[in-house]
Amino acid sequence: MDSLLVYGSYGYTGRLIAREIVARGGAPTVAGRDEREVERQADELGVEGHAISLSEDVAASIGEYDAVLNCAGPFVNTAEPLVEACLETGTDYLDITGEFQVFERLRQRDDAARDAGITLLPGVGFDVVPTDCLAAFLHDQLPSATDLSLAIDASGSLSRGTARTLVEHLGDDGVVRRNGRLISVPPGFRTREIDFGDGPEHAVTIPWGDVVTAAHSTGIDSIEVYAAAPSWATSAMGAADSLEWLLERKPVEDVLKRLVDARIDGPDERELATGRATVWGEVVDESTDRRARARLRTPNPYALTVAAAVDAAERVIDGQNRGRDRVPDGFQTPSTAFGADFVLECSDTKRELLEGPFEGGALELSVRGSDVDG
């Protein structure tokens, strides 16, 4: 992948991705704002490095590349300058964002991307590869579905970039999709008991990117995403909402970000190798009350991000250069670009259909009659 530019390559996840590409025999160009960090990383990996400021002429810096993989969060600040440059230069764009605002903004550039002949493919990491692929799989089981619920059970260390993004969004509203529209809701406005495989767990709504991407992938108009969390977390979210006036003050945000920079880096090698996550999903056809449910078990979210992002970039570039299996132009999600089984190509990832409608309404496995979503 010598024609790939990895922007934000010296952050925690960017470092892992750049190393994986080199380990596979590629020679990407590493890039970011900090010239010294870029040079250090380029020397370490034996590749080219390019310091790029997103406030300058980005198009002049990326025109020679087939694709850009953006690993620099918060993506609400970095995606648009890079996308504008990609539209100008005819360069495919990928990123590892999970921010629903970014997905929505890039979705609105679909026509511009088609006119430019490029692919806009955000969310090629844990946000949102497993959830998007599970949503597409479930929709295949029940094409008439009108409602989609997804849930994530993942624990472990955060990267510095993820933590800084969370700080920026402290006190923000949640979001769900209702009848085709994104609706702002209070943080943690709804809870649900979900069986991720070891019995019922408390889960609370979160503003995950699938409120945009799963709608694009499946056409389903009503979507909620949950995360497993202790019951006290719902109260904590309400408290954060009441302190929005404080959390949005820049001095408070700056202090929290300094704490993040001083204390957080990301999962160590052991956690990357042994960590696990589970994604659960359900689709419902409200007119018939038919439903399908499934679970997906994945490696550590950062390990999956590395594998999925590198695989996605390889496919985009190969399709562009070889003319086969070319990813369609315009705004894409992981499943529209590569299919619902894309996530299964990541090692140690398994999918389980828990309940699925068959012809005549027969079920492969029924768990109805229980108050626990399994």
Element (H, E) at 272: helix 269-274
Residue 360 per-residue DSSP state: G
| Other C-beta atoms lying within 10 Å of the C-beta of residue 371 | 6
Q: Let me know whether 70 and 90 are in one domain.
A: yes
> Mean pLDDT of all residues in the chain?
86
State how far the Cα of 138 lies from the Cα of 144, in Å rounded to an integer. 11
Q: Let me know whether 256 and 286 are in one domain.
A: yes
Q: Let me know whether 155 and 243 are in one domain.
A: yes
Residue type, 59: A
**369 assigned to some structural domain:** no
Element (H, E) at 32: strand 29-32
- Count of domains observed in the chain: 2
| Other C-beta atoms lying within 10 Å of the C-beta of residue 89 | 18
β-sheet bridge partners, residue 30: 6, 49
Structure confidence by residue, pLDDT tens digits, 317-355 = 988 765 567 899 999 999 999 999 999 998 889 999 998
Contact 298/305 with Cβ under 8 angstroms?
no
**365 assigned to some structural domain:** no
Q: Let me know whether 50 and 115 are in one domain.
A: yes
Structure confidence by residue, pLDDT tens digits, 40-86 = 999 999 999 999 999 999 999 999 999 999 999 889 999 999 999 99
- Show the domain range for 317: 4-125+302-338
**371 assigned to some structural domain:** no
**271 assigned to some structural domain:** yes
pTM: 0.87
Q: Let me know whether 94 and 197 are in one domain.
A: no
- 158: which 2 tokens? 């955060």
**97 assigned to some structural domain:** yes
Q: Let me know whether 104 and 201 are in one domain.
A: no
Contact 74/99 with Cβ under 8 angstroms?
yes
Q: Let me know whether 179 and 326 are in one domain.
A: no
Q: Let me know whether 145 and 287 are in one domain.
A: yes
Task: Write down the pLDDT at residue 189.
Answer: 82
CATH of the domain at 97: 3.40.50.720
Q: Let me know whether 76 and 215 are in one domain.
A: no
**321 assigned to some structural domain:** yes
**367 assigned to some structural domain:** no
Q: Let me know whether 323 and 286 are in one domain.
A: no
Average pLDDT score over residue span 254-274: 65
Residue 87 per-residue DSSP state: H
β-sheet bridge partners, residue 282: 149, 293
Q: Let me know whether 216 and 354 are in one domain.
A: yes
**293 assigned to some structural domain:** yes
Average pLDDT score over residue span 211-226: 97
Task: Write down the pLDDT at residue 157.
Answer: 61
CATH of the domain at 282: 3.30.360.10
Q: Let me know whether 161 and 275 are in one domain.
A: yes
Residue 363 per-residue DSSP state: B
List, in order, residues 6 or more apart from 101 with CB less than 8 Å away: 76
CA 5 to chain centre: 19
